[in-house]
Copies of this chain bind each other. A is one copy, B any other.
Amino acid sequence: MPRNPDHARHRLQEAALALFHEHGYDRTTAAEIAARAGVTERTFFRHFPDKREVLFGGQGNLEAALTAAVTGLPDDGTPLDLLHRAFRSVAPTLESKRHFSAPRQALIDRTPALKERELAKIQSLTALLTGALADRGVPAARARLAAQVGTAIFAIVMDTWFADPAKPLAEAFDAAFADLADLSQPFARPPA
């Protein structure tokens, strides 16, 4: 490892986060981030393909955890049940990182350019989950619909959880999936 043993990439992420919170995303230049991290602007763009991406570094972890969960979970119920349990399985990790993810999410929510990138990341997650479901034998069209609906629920739950962390994530997932079941059972279904 030449030059600097402590990874410049991580310093850049922290510098960016700090500066974005101080002055906002739009009024922070890549050169300023690089300067605070002690490197050159060119080095910034060697570590991140564009300015937005510096905020989405840890995204791979969540994707990996969720796809692993979908792949490894015991097989029963529907694709949506599988996703439900996969989401529950990452809930503790998500809750443990709230102190970090909440301000980051607030920044994303008030910055359109970052919101767009986040939507792209969610779509990427949807594609991965579609593939994971398909690998388990779920027909392609069904897998895609389930993954899309699943990530939609995931996004809503995360959003309401960021707004109010009172309810544990696992319960929020339970409630959201229950709401979904209600949504698509249109007419009177007499109990028992």
Q: Is A60 on the interface with B (CB-CB < 8 A)?
A: no
Number of chain A interface residues as a range: 20 to 34
What string of 1s and 0s marks CB contacts (under 8 Å) between A17-43 and chain B?
A: 000000000000000000000000000
Known: A79-B183, A142-B183, A180-B149. A112 touches B120 (CB 8 A): yes
Closest 10 CB pairs of A and B: A119-B119, A148-B152, A181-B184, A116-B116, A78-B186, A116-B120, A184-B184, A77-B186, A152-B152, A180-B184
Name the contact of A145 in the complex, choosing from B78, B119, B180, B186 (C-beta under 8 A): B180
Minimum C-beta distance from A52 to chain B (A): 9
- On whether the beta carbons of A80 and B183 are closer than 8 Å, the reply is yes
How long is the Cα–Cα vector from A151 to B152 in the complex, in angstroms? 10
For A81, the closest partner residue in chain B by CB is: B186
Further contacts, 14 of them, CB under 8 A, given A115-B120, A181-B186: A77-B186, A78-B185, A78-B186, A79-B183, A80-B186, A115-B123, A116-B117, A116-B120, A119-B123, A145-B152, A145-B153, A149-B152, A181-B184, A184-B184
Q: How many copies does the complex hold?
A: 2
For A77, the closest partner residue in chain B by CB is: B186
- Per DSSP, chain A at the interface is helix
